[in-house]
Each structure stands twice: as C-alpha cells, then as structure tokens.
Structure 1
C-alpha cells in the first residue's frame, strides 16, 4: 500500500493580502483629505449663501419700510382747499365753455337751416307782379324791400307767406307801400323780439 506524506505545511502556503498597512494608511489619509475639502467647500458655499440671504432680507426690509412710509403718507395726506377751489372753478369754466360752444353750434345750425328755408319758401311764393329788391336779416330784425305792379299784390303776397312753415305765426311790425315816380315800392319789417312762434 502506497502512502503520500505532505510536507507542505499550511503556514508555508502563500496568503493573499488585499491591502497592506501602507495602502490602508494612504487610503485613510486620502479619504480624510477629501472629507475635509468637502467640508470646507460646503462651509464656504454656506457662508456665501448666508451673505446673499442676509442681503436679500435687508433689501426686502428696506422696501417694506419704504412701502409702509408711503402708505402712511397716503393715509395722512390732506387735500389742499385752495387747489380744490381752483379745480372746481376750472371745471365750472370748462362746463360753461362747453355749453356756450354747443349753444353757438345749435344757433349756427338753426340760422343756416332757417335762412335756407326762408329763401326756399320765398321762391315758392313767387308772384309775377311783385318782386323783392333787398332782403336784410340781422340778429334783431328782418326787412324786405320790393316793388309791386298793383297795391293789392302786397297784402296778397303777405297772406300767402303766412301759410308757409317759416313765416307761420310771424307778424310784420311795419308795412309801407308808397309810389315813387312810376314805381310802387313797399317795405316790410319786423324785429326778432316781436316774432311770435315759428323759427327765428
């Protein structure tokens, strides 16, 4: 029978060392330096952020203080009675001018409309034996001068005018009919204050 004798003892077997003492120390030192560096970086960043936060907070506080002052000043503001009186006077003046402008515009429109209507109705009431030589219209009066072939033509013509829209309700203050050489002249006049009804 054959037997084998192993003379290779376990203590002589090679052992695998993962890290030597020097490697462990080096790794520990490197890790320590990394931790210290990270710690310093975080501290510096925190300090910068803290300063920025403080600056923003101061800015907010200043603006809040200014807003409070302005709000208080607005609440405490008193209206100046002199300025209010001037403003009220200007408003009244502006309203008066506006009313005057509107009144003048209405008056101009009325005058333009009335004048054109009067001329139109005078043309419609034309008579062959009567004609006008002058028409004078002012703010206070209205005068018609003309000639007629027959004395009765004037009252007939005036009566026909009374049936028109413009002359309806109006009265002539004076009516003169007179002969000058061979012509029969007439003058009709009225003042605006004596006109009754109708347009002016």
Structure 2
C-alpha cells in the first residue's frame, strides 16, 4: 500500500506581495526628488562655470586693454627719426652761431679794425645745413677767406648772397670759389661737400 506525502506545503510557496498605493507614491516622490536634486546640482554647476567663464573673459578683456594702452605709450615714446634730424640741425645751427657770437664778443672788446662787425655779419647769415670750418679776416690788405662743408652745395651761393646784403660786406666780391668732395676716407663720399671762398684768389691759410 503506497501513501503520498506532500511536503511542498502552502507555507513553503513564495508569496506574492503587492505594493500598496501609499508606498508607490512615496517611491515615486523619492525618484522625482532625486531627479530634481540632480538637475538642480547640474544647473548650479553650470551657473558656476558660466560665472567663471565670464570672469575669465573680463580679465582677458582688461589684459587686452592694458596691453593696447602700453603699446600706445611705447609708440608715443618712440623717437621720430625726422624730428630727431630736425632737432639735430637746429642744435648744430645754434652751436655754430654761438661759437661765432662768442668770437664776436671776444673781439668786440677792442674792435680791432672792424673785425667785430664782420664777425657779427658772418654769424647772422649762416644758413642751415652749412658748417664753417675755417675763417680768415685780414684788415690790411682787407681779405676774407671762408672754408666749410655742407650736404647741400646750393647753400654756399645762398650764403654769399646773404653776406652781400650786410653793409659791412657791401661792394666786396669773392674772386676765389671752390667746391670738392672730401678725400678723407673717414668722410662719407657723395654726402659731404667741402667749399672754400675768398675775396682774393689763392688766399693762403697762413693768413689766418
């Protein structure tokens, strides 16, 4: 006689648990809250990054402005070559006239044979871009000899013409006139021109 015993009782079977509506709502609320928190955190981080980007852009803009301002200041301080040349020409002219006027003052004390008047006239009429390197004045017989250099040869006749307008040189003529390039290798060939003028031909430097 066989007898079957069922050991798989109802207590051992898995029970199906159903979620209550309240529990489901709580879980849903937690999910929504977590999503909102993550979104809020992401938004806050984005805002933070945007603020940092804006700050960096402002700093870059300030640096660009400062750089441009410094560049303008540097450009303003750069010397103008043409202005420097003009200033040098004026300085040279003033220096030449000052030296001549100093000689005039030295001679004016005694006024030897009208030398001071002639020196004053020479100093007044020196044009720009012309340098006197030698001067001979002789009273008996009356002689005048000038040597110098220039980068503009046309300045020499202009200087002589201006001297002729001075009363002290009225009636005097320059019979000796010479222009040449310097032979000294240290001189800039093709740039400087030496000149010599005298009231008598062949006036020697020993007369100085």
- Regarding TM over 0.5, the answer is no
TM-score bracket for the superposition, by shorter chain length = 0.3 to 0.5
Which of these two proteins has the greater Rg computed from alpha carbons? 1
The normalised TM-score by structure 2 is 0.37
The normalised TM-score by structure 1 is 0.38
